[in-house]
Amino acid sequence: MKSEQLDKLIGKLHVIINETRRKLRKHELNEEWTKQSLVLPLLEGLGWDPVFEIYPESHVNRNNGRIDYLLKPKEHKNSTLCIEVKSLLIPAPEDRAHNYIVKGLEKTVQKEASYFIWTNGDSWQIYALSIPNAPIYEIRLTATNGIEKNVKKLTEQFRILCKDEFFSNPKGIDTAILANWKVVALPVAFSKIMKELPDEITELFKKVLPEKLGFTSEDILKFLEQCKLKTQDNDPAIITRSRARKIIPCTEEWEKLVNSLEPRYQKAREKLIKNERRKLAEYLIGDNYNPWPNTITWHILGLSKRSSSTKTVTGPAVAIYRKWGFIESQNHMSKRDVIYQRVEEAMVYLKKLLES
């Protein structure tokens, strides 16, 4: 399939995922729906022959059952790929120790394949048996947010799974996984050193710091915790599970906040519409809404008076509503002059949250 056609397919699948999460019932979004609506169309778009190269329900053994799909190029005795498919509503695994991944890799070994792919139709996690310790390499269809340039980048990322690319460059997947690993390896190593070797690292600093300045180990560690290693900018299409994904408020995230069964979205729903924070949601969608100064947020939350103790309530409430893009601050000269206002396009989703 040409790049333009693959771009259109990926854009179409992005729309299908967003639409069906809102329109179909949970029991309708089962594993078979994922296979027919998302997985097979993408595999065919990547050049795999559905008759001669995509083997469904491939037998492993009596104990381990079957693998959903086995991809095998017909022209060449090349490496093969095992694919395990789950419902679109199943959250993507957060680490390699997840039962889905452990079992999938075991089946891949038994099939004498080289690669394992876990997918719920949106998240495509790719594992190379030759690189057993690499962080999860994930390509996510909805990471494009419908932006054309992101769709093109996503198309390039998926090329490692194109049948022709796999035939001509069978180690392309290994190369992509290693390149991605290199991006996150130093920050992960830095975090590990900070956690496991604090005494050693502070002693190294003390050797070169003037003794008369009196820096303590706590001072040094506090400084290091504030340091941020510069990393290469990852494509929006790729998610590396070694670090948390930052929330970028957009239609896709608001929809997930309303509908997704992933733990992170379920927890966010509870925080947003629980206790005093619910009052803020009701104010934002209510008829009496007007932009408001930061100093009266306590009143909107239904607190009896403004005092130092209200900061522990108003601060977290404002923070989570800003994090998810339901409110934003107008330009201001100082912290005391902050004026908050609602984000109009997000209000339809906030209303759904309150009704859920």
The structure tokens 């109009």 sit at 344
The structure tokens 């180690």 sit at 171
78-82, 274-278, 312-316: which has the minimum mean pLDDT?
78-82
Helix (H) or strand (E) holding 84: strand 81-85
227 against 111, higher pLDDT = 111
Q: With a cut of 90, say whether residue 32 has pLDDT above it.
A: yes
Hey, which residues does 58 pair with through a beta bridge?
A: 67
Residue 311: the pLDDT is 80
Q: How far apart are CA 2 and CA 9, in angstroms?
A: 11
Provide the phi-psi class of 215: left if phi over 0, else alpha when psi is between -120 and 50, else beta: beta
From residue 11, alpha-carbon distances to 20, 39, 47, 154 in Å are 14, 14, 17, 10
Residue 304: the pLDDT is 83
Q: With a cut of 70, say whether residue 162 has pLDDT above it.
A: yes
Both tokens of 328, joined, read 């934003």
Mean pLDDT score, 311-340: 79
Residue 36: the pLDDT is 95
Residue 285 φ/ψ, nearest 5 degrees = -95, 0
Residue 3: the pLDDT is 75
Residue 256: the pLDDT is 86
CATH code for the domain defined by 3-176? 3.90.1570.30
Percent of the chain with pLDDT over 70: 88
Q: What's the CATH number of domain 251-355, 3.40.50.300, 2.30.110.10, 1.10.10.10, 3.40.190.80?
A: 1.10.10.10
* Residues 266 and 256: beta-carbon distance below 8 Å: no
**Mean pLDDT computed over every residue of the chain:** 84
* Residues 241 and 94: beta-carbon distance below 8 Å: yes
3 against 336, higher pLDDT = 3
DSSP secondary-structure letter at 38? I
Residue 253: the pLDDT is 86
Q: How far apart are CA 230 and CA 303, in angstroms?
A: 42
60-69, 72-81, 176-185, 213-222: which has the minimum mean pLDDT?
72-81
Got the DSSP string for 172-228? HHHHHHHHHHHHHHHHHHHHHHHHH-HHHHHHHHHHHS-GGG---HHHHHHHHHH--
How is the chain split into domains, by residue range? 3-176, 184-237, 251-355
Helix (H) or strand (E) holding 138: strand 137-140
Residue type, 63: N
**Who's near 344: CB < 8 A, 6+ residues apart?**
none
**Who's near 156: CB < 8 A, 6+ residues apart?**
none
Got the DSSP string for 224-293? HHH-----PPPPTTEEETTSPPPP--SHHHHHHHHH--SHHHHHHHHHHTSTHHHHHHHHHHSTT---EE
Both tokens of 91, joined, read 């959250």
Closest listed residue to residue 229, CA positions, set 180, 184, 181: 184
In this prediction, residue 106 has a pLDDT band, given cuts at 50, 70 and 90, of very high
